[in-house]
């Protein structure tokens, strides 16, 4: 049975919704696929639901193919399991919490590791039951601070989340690979280009972690890749660490006057003007060590300062810093922080001063604290034996030739520096380039974290209790729909890939001629009989212009226009993806449609 546009619950809109910043949001609302209910919360109209079901069917198909089994958890979950793993607290403001009439605490689950772990613990007890892969397609909730971009960052969204259970590391590797392979097949069937990038384990706490990113200039994630095959999320990129250098032949550090140099640019100018390098090469920002004071707020509210030392030609990447310091919140130190630490001379901060160590361990091997007691972390490029121009903690003075490992020491290494094109990939596969993408999937080895916390153990072949090792694998179903829309549209409307289009063919009758309408009916019947799912624009009083505009907006990739030539047995076939519009004899229409790219 075909769907008639005159009956379909849809209303196309000429105007963009005022809050829509991205194409998918604009077009999905204008074409009547979704409708906003609250910030980041949408209702699904018939067209949207149809596309969504097709995406879900492809996901199910590929997961079932390797033996994953579907279950379904509630969205409303009790606090207790999340308390055990500390995520009740760690999620901070990011989740919705509520109480029932008896005052018991619940949350709207943002992800389900805990209850999957408990379910398997509840039912299984032997290695013979493993490996096991379970999944669900289910609504998730996150109380995003700034819900935006329509379905791309909502507060209620639908995910496919899978979890694998094994009792050996090799088993986990195999389950991980099964999911990874299935994801490749899923995205291929969905018509979505993807890059698999190394990802940071982040708050989930585990080992191997990769993201599937759809490369697009409007992507919200930045990733790097090298010609030699390295690919990583910027947050997961690691710097190639230089070998330590000998201190032999290095001159002693020297404090020099550098008036009015609170910025790196000013410092470089003054250094070149007043204190040129003995060998004549100009000083550059890369010769300076910039010391940035950050304030970390832990989950319990404790505020701690930390200083990061980084070459002056680089910035701190705040997203990388958020990951590195998670779950603490990171921000720049404020005046109040500086007031409490008069040892830090703003604009002239450095690890060393004429009166001794200001930051970091005082001496290697003896981590006696410095005069400020503030934790001091270094970019990996500030490696042993490298010399720097850096603040002398005296207003208007810097120290030149301060050597890492000889004159100052850190409390550790940290990866928070910005990544720039040309940086070497850590695996030696050459310089990286930066690109943007949208996350469409995530595969992740949780390891034994959740099983340990919640006591999921099985008896192994020798009758010994062993802790289960788990993987977690996610695809944002509603997010993917938006990503597909984002990458499959033109100025006029959506252009769905065949596998997820709400209909195979959109038949529009142009004109008000009753005879032509009757021919349209015949064509629709015949296409339906041939197995095409048809959307039939049968509206008798709507102009051809409006019909074509709606057809473009709605995005069915193949459009058949039944117009003046219909009486002569000819219709027009319009391929929205290629833009080709060709006359086709009605008798050949089915074959012509099937042959379209």
Q: Could you list the residues that contact a second copy (CB under 8 A)?
A: 7-11, 32, 35, 37-38, 41-46, 49, 67, 69-78, 93, 96-98, 100-101, 106, 108, 115, 119, 122-124, 132, 134, 139, 141, 143, 145, 155-156
H/E element holding 30? Answer: helix 23-30
Report the residue number, 77 or 195, with the smaller CB distance to a second copy: 77
- Closest approach of Cβ 191 to a second copy, in Å? 23
| CA angle in degrees (0–180, nearest 5) for 182-185-190 | 125
DSSP 56-69: HHHHHHHHHHTT-E
Nearest C-alpha neighbor of 578 from the set 596, 590, 595:
596
User: Alpha-carbon distance 170 to 582, whole Å?
Assistant: 56
- Closest approach of Cβ 485 to a second copy, in Å? 17
- Closest approach of Cβ 73 to a second copy, in Å? 5
- Closest approach of Cβ 577 to a second copy, in Å? 27
User: Alpha-carbon distance 113 to 88, whole Å?
Assistant: 13
Beta carbons of 382 and 309 less than 8 angstroms apart: yes
- Closest approach of Cβ 83 to a second copy, in Å? 14
Q: Is the dihedral of CA 297, 303, 309, 312 positive or negative?
A: positive
Report the residue number, 144 or 184, with the smaller CB distance to a second copy: 144
- Paired residues of 288 in beta bridges: 389
Report the residue number, 288 or 469, with the smaller CB distance to a second copy: 469
Report the residue number, 31 or 197, with the smaller CB distance to a second copy: 31
User: Alpha-carbon distance 333 to 303, whole Å?
Assistant: 10
Q: What is the dihedral of CA 162, 166, 169, 170, to 10 degrees?
A: -90
- Paired residues of 313 in beta bridges: none
User: Alpha-carbon distance 550 to 547, whole Å?
Assistant: 5
- Closest approach of Cβ 111 to a second copy, in Å? 15
- Closest approach of Cβ 554 to a second copy, in Å? 15
- Closest approach of Cβ 130 to a second copy, in Å? 11
Q: Which letter does DSSP use for residue 437 in this model?
A: E
- Closest approach of Cβ 67 to a second copy, in Å? 7
3-class state of residue 75 by DSSP: coil
Nearest C-alpha neighbor of 331 from the set 294, 375, 304:
294
Q: Which letter does DSSP use for residue 2 in this model?
A: P
Report the residue number, 8 or 584, with the smaller CB distance to a second copy: 8
- Closest approach of Cβ 171 to a second copy, in Å? 15
Backbone torsions φ then ψ of 517, nearest 5 degrees:
-60, -40
3-class state of residue 499 by DSSP: helix
User: Alpha-carbon distance 419 to 433, whole Å?
Assistant: 9
Report the residue number, 155 or 436, with the smaller CB distance to a second copy: 155
| CA angle in degrees (0–180, nearest 5) for 347-348-352 | 150
3-class state of residue 221 by DSSP: strand
Q: What is the dihedral of CA 420, 426, 430, 435, to 10 degrees?
A: -40
- Closest approach of Cβ 545 to a second copy, in Å? 20
- Closest approach of Cβ 7 to a second copy, in Å? 7
Report the residue number, 118 or 382, with the smaller CB distance to a second copy: 118
Beta carbons of 394 and 345 less than 8 angstroms apart: yes
Report the residue number, 71 or 421, with the smaller CB distance to a second copy: 71
| CA angle in degrees (0–180, nearest 5) for 410-416-419 | 130
Q: How many residues in the chain?
A: 597
Report the residue number, 38 or 518, with the smaller CB distance to a second copy: 38
User: Alpha-carbon distance 120 to 54, whole Å?
Assistant: 29
User: Alpha-carbon distance 280 to 597, whole Å?
Assistant: 64
DSSP 299-323: TT--EEEEEEEEETT--B-HHHHHH
Q: Which residues neighbour 278 within 8 Å (Cβ) at sequence distance 6 or greater?
A: none
- Closest approach of Cβ 64 to a second copy, in Å? 8
Beta carbons of 441 and 195 less than 8 angstroms apart: no
Report the residue number, 145 or 339, with the smaller CB distance to a second copy: 145
Report the residue number, 45 or 305, with the smaller CB distance to a second copy: 45
User: Alpha-carbon distance 588 to 592, whole Å?
Assistant: 6
Report the residue number, 121 or 436, with the smaller CB distance to a second copy: 121
- Closest approach of Cβ 69 to a second copy, in Å? 5
Report the residue number, 61 or 331, with the smaller CB distance to a second copy: 61
């Amino acid at each position: 049975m075909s769907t008639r546009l005159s009956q379909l619950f849809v209303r196309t809109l000429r105007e963009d919704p005022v809050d829509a910043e991205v194409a998918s949001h604009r077009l999905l609302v204008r074409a009547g696929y979704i409708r906003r209910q609250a910030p980041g919360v949408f209702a699904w109209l018939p067209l949207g639901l149809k596309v969504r079901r097709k995406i879900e069917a492809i996901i199910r198909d590929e997961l079932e193919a390797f033996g994953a089994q579907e279950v379904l958890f509630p969205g409303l979950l009790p606090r207790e399991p999340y308390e055990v793993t500390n995520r009740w607290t760690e999620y901070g403001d990011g989740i919705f919490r509520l109480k029932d009439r008896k005052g018991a605490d619940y949350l709207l689950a943002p992800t389900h590791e805990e209850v999957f772990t408990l379910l398997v613990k509840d039912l299984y007890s032997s290695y013979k039951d493993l490996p096991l892969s379970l999944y669900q397609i289910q609504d998730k909730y996150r109380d995003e601070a700034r819900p935006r971009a329509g379905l791309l960052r909502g507060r209620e969204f639908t995910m496919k989340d899978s979890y694998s259970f094994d009792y050996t590391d090799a088993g986990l590797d195999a389950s991980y690979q099964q999911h990874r392979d299935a994801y490749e097949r899923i995205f291929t069937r969905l018509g979505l280009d993807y890059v698999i990038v190394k990802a940071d384990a982040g708050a989930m706490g585990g080992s191997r972690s990769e993201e599937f990113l759809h490369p697009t200039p409007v992507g919200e994630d930045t990733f790097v890749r090298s010609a030699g095959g390295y690919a990583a999320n910027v947050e997961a990129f690691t710097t190639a660490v230089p070998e330590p250098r000998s201190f032999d032949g290095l001159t002693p550090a020297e404090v020099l006057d550098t008036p009015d140099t609170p910025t790196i640019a000013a410092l470089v100018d003054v250094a070149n003007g007043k204190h040129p390098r003995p060998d004549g090469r100009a000083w550059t920002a890369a010769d300076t060590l910039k010391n940035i004071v950050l304030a970390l707020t832990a989950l319990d509210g404790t505020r701690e300062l930390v200083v990061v030392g980084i070459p002056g030609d680089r910035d701190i990447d705040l997203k990388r810093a958020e990951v590195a310091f998670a779950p603490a919140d990171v921000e720049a130190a404020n005046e109040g922080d500086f007031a409490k630490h008069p040892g830090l001379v703003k604009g002239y901060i450095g690890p060393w001063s004429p009166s001794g160590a200001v930051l970091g361990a005082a001496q290697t091997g003896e981590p006696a604290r410095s005069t400020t007691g503030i934790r001091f972390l270094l970019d990996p490029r500030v490696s042993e034996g490298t010399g720097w121009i850096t603040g002398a903690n005296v207003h208007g003075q810097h120290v030149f030739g301060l050597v890492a490992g000889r004159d100052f020491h850190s409390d550790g290494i940290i990866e928070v520096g910005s990544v720039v094109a040309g940086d070497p990939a850590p695996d030696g596969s050459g310089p990286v380039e930066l690109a943007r993408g949208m996350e469409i999937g995530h595969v992740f080895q949780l390891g034994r974290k959740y099983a340990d916390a919640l006591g999921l153990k099985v008896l192994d072949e020798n009758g010994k209790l062993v802790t289960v090792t788990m993987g977690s694998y996610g695809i944002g179903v509603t997010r993917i729909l938006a990503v597909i829309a984002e990458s499959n549209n033109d100025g006029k409307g959506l252009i769905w890939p065949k596998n997820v289009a709400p209909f195979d063919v959109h038949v529009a009758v142009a004109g008000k001629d009753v005879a032509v309408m009757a021919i349209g009916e015949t064509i629709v019947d015949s296409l339906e009989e041939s197995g095409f799912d048809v959307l039939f624009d049968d509206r008798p009083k709507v102009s051809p212009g409006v019909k074509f505009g709606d057809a473009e907006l709605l995005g069915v990739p193949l459009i058949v226009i039944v117009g003046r030539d219909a009486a002569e047995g000819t219709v027009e076939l319009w391929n929205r993806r290629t833009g080709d519009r060709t006359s086709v004899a009605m008798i050949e229409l089915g074959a012509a449609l099937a042959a379209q790219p």
